[in-house]
Chain A
Amino acid sequence: MKLLVAVKQVAALDEDFAIRADGRDVEPDFLVRDLNEWDEYSLEEAMRIKEAAASPVEVLVVCVGPQDADEALRKCLAKGADRALRVWDEALAGSDPIAIARVLAAVARKEAPELFFAGVQSSDHAFAATGVATAGLLRWPHAAVVAALNYTPGAKTAVVRRELEGGALHEMQIECPAVLTIQLGINAPRYASLRSIKQAAAKPIEVLGLGELGLAPSQVGEAGSAARVRRMYIPDRGRAQMLKGSLEEQAARLAQIIKDAAGSAR
């Protein structure tokens, strides 16, 4: 019995950053990396199924990324994942979610999990595409934006609730194996203890290349993508009028703005 959790090491921008010389991405020095927030919830969901199960369940975390993505995988190991697998090849640079999905689908075929979890989206590029593209390649049933899940390991079906616009939920039954994309708030992710963080540092991370998954370089990277980045730029955006001065001066000005605007609102 196996649950696969696909995770991403996301990149946030420093307060100051610069666009790369070729104009197609940000200079990597300005990126601050972390495990994608959504993935904390999908890992937790897998851990809860494992811990409630009557028979052994293996939780496998998988990340497509270069060596520094090991940090994201170690975070998952520290929270209790049983195995961590990273896939990388230089040909993967420039991959969009469709190309990444091709790798994840190859891993899923090899590992044959009962459920495949991914986050609804990533906090950096917010494509909301990788999990469902993987399902498309595997031809597995899938549900996106899952905010509640009821599944017993070994069961032929699971019951999910999709979170809709406005907060209503749509309950669906889904055949397994299935791909589910997990929404924030489905659970309360655990923190890793200092002891488990230390233990995770010593755990092995399996590393695979494209060849071991039966993939050719032309199936990933820009060549294997459904879209190609042409240009990245800092947009002209509206900008708030910043209230200046001492704290007292700022507060006085803010109070006046509130009194003026609330005069009509109250």
Chain B
Amino acid sequence: MSEILLIAEHRQGQLRPVSLELVGAAQAARRSPSERIVVALIAQDAAGLVPSVSVAGVDEIVTVRSPVAEFEPEIYERAVRALIEARRPALVLLAHSVDSFGFAAALAADGSCGFASDIFKIEYDSNGKLVATRGGYGQKVAVEVDFPDKNVIVLAVRSGVFRAPEGSAAPQVAAFQADLGRPRTSSVGFIESSSADDVDMSGAEFILAIGRGIGEQANVERFRELAETLGATLGCSRPVADAGWLPKSRQIGQSGKTASACKLYVAMGISGAIQHLAGMKHVATIVAVNSDAGASIFSVAKYGIVGDLFEVADALEQHFK
């Protein structure tokens, strides 16, 4: 019987929530309800993680003992390769995440399986061939891909698209023996992001965020004043933090903070890279101001103004004085 194999992720002893979204993706992607959904746990203490993946929809959990506690790309690559060879799943799903950036493509490099990344839709054509959809050209187009002559397909799935199932279950648990060898990388430790700036972006309810469109560092002050006048917390997109114009603690997005408590988000000069949207697209009221009418930010915003940031800032400020 065919199965869908999911590769769970964990860090510092905790399951990463995106792993459960893979269960939702597998439910959406299976050809028939009889297709089994199997979760692989590759960990030093796999048993300790079993309860966190014992969720509705999972038919089986397969544990693979890793010689190391934290993620090492070669350990994951070897373990998943061994699982694919032993179980011949039709489909392998993993998260499009920092960890799988480290090994997923290497699995496909020998030509043995189909592979595509950042997938947000999985379906079958009239001939029963799997078709996966991703974005292209800065997410301005959708791209359907297929996998001619591949018996195993590995897909890295975009986070925040598929829903984690609700409710727990008691799937069977089996141990899988694999010689994972010695990794040529070794974990030294984790460094939490620290900053002299103790702003709490996750807790902010009203955020004014600035992006590359502000042009230069000297202009940050203009928007800091505007944020103060409006009563907003000043945030930014990645290029502003990378350039050192604002501290990293104010960056919204995948590798920054999520605007968890935010109800009103005013984005000025932010084009809307997918990594930025991941941190704010859920906000109820998003307003975007950008000089480029084609900017991706307008696809998630409720209201938009195409215009000059500085002129809009000046005119807007008049209403709050």
Chain A residues in contact with chain B, CB under 8 A? 11-13, 15, 17, 19, 26, 96-98, 101-102, 120, 123-137, 141-145, 159, 161-175, 178, 181, 183-185, 188, 224, 226-235, 237-243, 247-248, 250-252, 254-255, 257-258, 261-262, 264-266
The answer on a CB contact under 8 Å between B193 and A129 is: no
Closest to A132 in B: B105
> Using Cβ atoms and an 8 Å threshold, which residues of chain B touch A173?
185-186, 188
Q: How far is the CA of A239 from the CA of B156 in the complex (A)?
A: 27
Shortest beta-carbon distance from B307 to chain A in Å: 7
Contact status of A98 and B255, CB under 8 A, knowing A170-B190, A185-B238, A265-B263 = no
Closest to B286 in A: A240
Closest to B244 in A: A188
Q: How far is the CA of A245 from the CA of B116 in the complex (A)?
A: 44
Contact status of A266 and B303, CB under 8 A, knowing A144-B98, A185-B242, A254-B312 = no
Contact status of A170 and B300, CB under 8 A, knowing A143-B102, A250-B315, A264-B263 = no
Q: How far is the CA of A127 from the CA of B192 in the complex (A)?
A: 27
Closest to A137 in B: B109
Top 10 nearest A-B pairs (CB, nearest first) are A136-B106, A251-B315, A240-B304, A185-B242, A255-B319, A136-B109, A129-B105, A141-B184, A240-B301, A265-B205
The answer on a CB contact under 8 Å between A254 and B102 is: no
Contact with A232, one of B98, B143, B239 (Cβ below 8 angstroms): B143
> Using Cβ atoms and an 8 Å threshold, which residues of chain B touch A238?
299-300
The answer on a CB contact under 8 Å between A168 and B191 is: yes
> Using Cβ atoms and an 8 Å threshold, which residues of chain B touch A231?
143-144
Chain B residues in contact with chain A, CB under 8 A? 11, 16, 70-74, 77, 96-98, 101-111, 113-118, 131-132, 135-138, 140-148, 150, 156, 183-193, 205-206, 230-232, 238-239, 241-244, 248, 251, 254-258, 262-264, 266, 274, 284-289, 292-294, 298-307, 311-312, 315-316, 318-320
Contact status of A240 and B302, CB under 8 A, knowing A185-B241, A250-B315, A266-B231 = yes
Contact with A145, one of B101, B256, B285 (Cβ below 8 angstroms): B101
Shortest beta-carbon distance from A124 to chain B in Å: 5
> Using Cβ atoms and an 8 Å threshold, which residues of chain A touch B136?
124-125, 232
Shortest beta-carbon distance from A239 to chain B in Å: 6
The answer on a CB contact under 8 Å between A251 and B319 is: yes
Q: How far is the CA of A145 from the CA of B242 in the complex (A)?
A: 14
Chain B interface SS verdict (over half): mixed
Contact with B274, one of A126, A159, A174, A262 (Cβ below 8 angstroms): A126
Q: How far is the CA of A17 from the CA of B141 in the complex (A)?
A: 10
The answer on a CB contact under 8 Å between B108 and A133 is: yes
The answer on a CB contact under 8 Å between A243 and B145 is: no
The answer on a CB contact under 8 Å between A143 and B73 is: yes
The answer on a CB contact under 8 Å between B193 and A167 is: yes
11 additional contacts (CB under 8 A) given A98-B109, A257-B287, A261-B284: A136-B108, A141-B184, A163-B255, A226-B113, A227-B147, A242-B298, A247-B307, A247-B311, A248-B315, A265-B263, A265-B264
Contact status of A164 and B312, CB under 8 A, knowing A170-B187, A172-B185, A175-B184 = no
Q: How far is the CA of A123 from the CA of B316 in the complex (A)?
A: 33
Question: Which of A181, A228, A257 is most buried by chain B, counting CB atoms within 10 A of its CB?
Answer: A228
Contact with B305, one of A17, A97, A185, A242 (Cβ below 8 angstroms): A242
Closest to B249 in A: A167
Would you mind naming 21 contact pairs between A and B with Cβ atoms under 8 Å apart?
A13-B141, A131-B105, A132-B73, A133-B105, A133-B108, A145-B98, A164-B11, A165-B98, A166-B255, A167-B248, A169-B193, A226-B116, A227-B147, A230-B144, A240-B288, A248-B315, A254-B289, A255-B320, A257-B303, A262-B230, A265-B205
Q: How far is the CA of A255 from the CA of B317 in the complex (A)?
A: 8
The answer on a CB contact under 8 Å between B312 and A144 is: no
The answer on a CB contact under 8 Å between A165 and B264 is: no
Closest to B289 in A: A254
Q: How far is the CA of A260 from the CA of B294 in the complex (A)?
A: 27
Question: Which of A120, A131, A165, A168 is most buried by chain B, counting CB atoms within 10 A of its CB?
Answer: A165
The answer on a CB contact under 8 Å between A164 and B307 is: no
The answer on a CB contact under 8 Å between B206 and A266 is: yes
> Using Cβ atoms and an 8 Å threshold, which residues of chain A touch B141?
13, 19, 26, 232-235
Shortest beta-carbon distance from B258 to chain A in Å: 8
Closest to B114 in A: A226
Shortest beta-carbon distance from A71 to chain B in Å: 19
The answer on a CB contact under 8 Å between B298 and A239 is: yes
Q: How far is the CA of A234 from the CA of B294 in the complex (A)?
A: 13
The answer on a CB contact under 8 Å between B137 and A128 is: no
Contact status of A227 and B115, CB under 8 A, knowing A15-B293, A133-B106 = yes
Contact with A242, one of B106, B206, B299, B304 (Cβ below 8 angstroms): B304
